[in-house]
């Protein structure tokens, strides 16, 4: 495994972050693995040097955090690991159980700490921006959590570059804890973040953690087209994923990945992740896995160094498309 620092912080993280949305309870989504079925993934990840794990309170409505916390306490040394979780999306349909108000952020953090079974969250992230709460209230609440020792670093997930820049400015003006990471939608099939968000992150020393790095399996070669729902249970039932990739996607990009992978004799997933890892702003793609071979491909991708010619071949077919993933 290779390691780097998260943006301009001194926090050392593996170049692959294991996304834990896949682990929790199938009662929430049919493609989610149970506690027992999830355990081998955490064991393999830690054995192979991954020290970075990302979940959220809304994944399996808290069960993902419980599963993640138990597994990391069993298989790892918590002092060596970096545990990230998120807050914003609804936990119930009742008032004050969603959003980024001071009340929900503080209560959400305390609930996540209990479910994870830890004293401090290494990276606490807003799970999208909240248009109904002043950013000053959100940032003050996050700073309170940092100052009280319940959170070490704070981050954000997807949004417009102007929103993120404004948040950084507000924190600086008030002397509050500042976002150190951006978890955004970025992969070979969706590169709109290169226009504003990635240059902003590079200039401000923000670590970038792309989600959906394999475009819901399209960049791993597991689907014959954007409309192919037969590859897996998730492909068939993930309605949010269906909204991210449609006919605006250039299938020529997938063909380019296939050609580079064939020439190297490695899986397409390794090529797609290696491309992300070649980008200076990217700290660690967030990789979800429902099969151990998928996790193994992600780990192997860390040691794949693409040539300039291969990168150009992969990028050439891309065409601009609407912004997706901010909602």
Helix (H) or strand (E) holding 121: strand 121-126
Task: Out of 59, 190, 245, 318, pick the active-site residue.
Answer: 59
6-27 residues labelled b (16+ CB within 10 A) or e (exposed): bbebebebbbbbbbbbbbbbee
311-325 residues labelled b (16+ CB within 10 A) or e (exposed): eebbeebbeebeebb
Residue 245 known to be catalytic:
no
Contacts of 297 (CB under 8 A, 6+ apart): 220, 267, 269, 270, 273
Distance CA 111, CA 128 (A): 19
Residues 56, 86 contacting (CB under 8 angstroms): yes
Give the catalytic positions in this structure. 59
């Amino acid at each position: 495994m290779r390691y780097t620092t998260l943006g301009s912080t001194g926090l050392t993280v593996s170049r692959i972050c294991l996304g834990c949305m896949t682990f929790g309870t199938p009662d929430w989504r049919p493609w989610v693995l149970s506690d027992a079925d999830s355990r081998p993934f955490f064991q393999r990840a830690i054995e192979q040097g991954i020290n970075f794990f990302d979940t959220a309170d809304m994944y399996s409505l808290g069960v993902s955090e419980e599963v993640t916390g138990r597994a990391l306490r069993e298989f790892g040394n918590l002092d060596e690991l970096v545990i990230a979780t998120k807050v914003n999306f609804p936990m119930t349909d009742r008032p004050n159980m969603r959003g980024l108000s001071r009340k929900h952020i503080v209560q959400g953090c305390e609930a996540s700490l209990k479910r994870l079974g830890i004293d401090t969250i290494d990276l606490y992230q807003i799970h999208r921006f909240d248009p109904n709460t002043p950013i000053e209230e959100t940032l003050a609440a996050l700073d309170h959590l940092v100052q009280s020792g319940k959170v070490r670093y704070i981050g954000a997930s997807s949004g417009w570059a102007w929103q993120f820049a404004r948040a950084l400015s507000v924190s600086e003006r008030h002397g509050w804890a500042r976002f150190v990471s951006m978890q955004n939608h970025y992969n070979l099939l969706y590169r709109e973040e290169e226009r504003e968000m990635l240059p902003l992150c590079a200039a401000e020393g923000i670590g970038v953690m792309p989600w959906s790095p394999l475009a819901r399996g399209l960049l791993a070669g597991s689907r014959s087209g954007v409309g192919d729902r037969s590859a897996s249970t998730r492909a068939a039932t993930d309605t949010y994923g269906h909204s991210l990739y449609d006919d605006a996607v250039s299938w020529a990009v997938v063909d380019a990945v296939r050609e580079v992978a064939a020439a190297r004799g490695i899986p397409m997933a390794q090529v797609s992740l290696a491309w992300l890892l070649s980008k200076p702003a990217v700290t660690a793609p967030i990789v979800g896995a429902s099969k151990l071979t998928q996790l193994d491909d992600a780990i192997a991708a860390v040691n794949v160094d693409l040539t300039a010619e291969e990168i150009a071949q992969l990028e050439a077919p891309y065409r601009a498309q609407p912004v997706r993933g901010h909602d």
